[in-house]
């Protein structure tokens, strides 16, 4: 096998991985615009999956902090029979959170498209 064949094979494998991940993610979570997010999050469980220091620096009003790093120990704090609205700084951790919760039987999973960095609504900070 030549080096070129190796890199072509590697590139194909990476592309397939990203396609599979994208399809799995789309089945696990519904991306919402800020307007759609605002319409529904008051009737749902609003979960910020960022680390506590980021949460304290500013979070969406009414959100609970369950950091992604603690998710395996704390996911049972989230009720599976109610909608779950997730967000993080971008969407990486909230996407992985949605995949994890989907495997645990949660079905009503939503995330803020663009994450907290794009949020222009009400924010609460802790001093």
pLDDT band, residue 72 (cuts 50/70/90):
very high
Statement: residue 91 has pLDDT above 80: yes
- What pLDDT does 114 receive? 92
Q: Quick one: pLDDT at residue 68?
A: 97
Model's pTM, two decimal places?
0.81
The pLDDT score that the predictor gives to residue 127 is: 59
* pLDDT-derived band at 25, boundaries 50, 70, 90: low
Helix H or strand E encompassing 112: strand 109-112
pLDDT tens-digit profile of 26-36? Answer: 677 899 999 99
So what's the pLDDT on residue 110? 96
Which residues share a beta bridge with 64?
47
Average pLDDT of the chain is 91
Structure confidence at residue 113 (pLDDT): 92
The share of the chain scoring above pLDDT 90, in percent, equals 69
> What span, in angstroms and rounded, lies between the C-alpha atoms of 25 and 20?
9
CA-based end-to-end distance of the chain: 60
* 14 phi/psi in degrees, rounded to 5: -65, -45
Q: What's the confidence (pLDDT) of residue 119?
A: 94
């Amino acid at each position: 096998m030549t080096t070129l064949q190796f890199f072509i094979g590697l590139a194909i494998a990476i592309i397939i991985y990203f396609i599979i991940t994208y399809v799995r993610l789309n089945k696990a979570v519904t991306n919402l615009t800020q307007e759609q997010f605002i319409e529904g999050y008051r009737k749902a469980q609003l979960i910020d999956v960022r680390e506590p220091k980021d949460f304290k620096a500013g979070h969406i009003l009414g959100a609970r902090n369950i950091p992604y790093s603690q998710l395996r120990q704390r996911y049972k704090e989230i009720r599976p029979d109610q909608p779950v609205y997730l967000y993080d700084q971008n969407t990486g951790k909230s996407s992985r959170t949605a995949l994890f919760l989907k495997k645990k039987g949660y079905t009503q999973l939503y995330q803020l498209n663009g994450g907290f960095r794009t949020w222009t609504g009400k924010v609460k900070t802790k001093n």
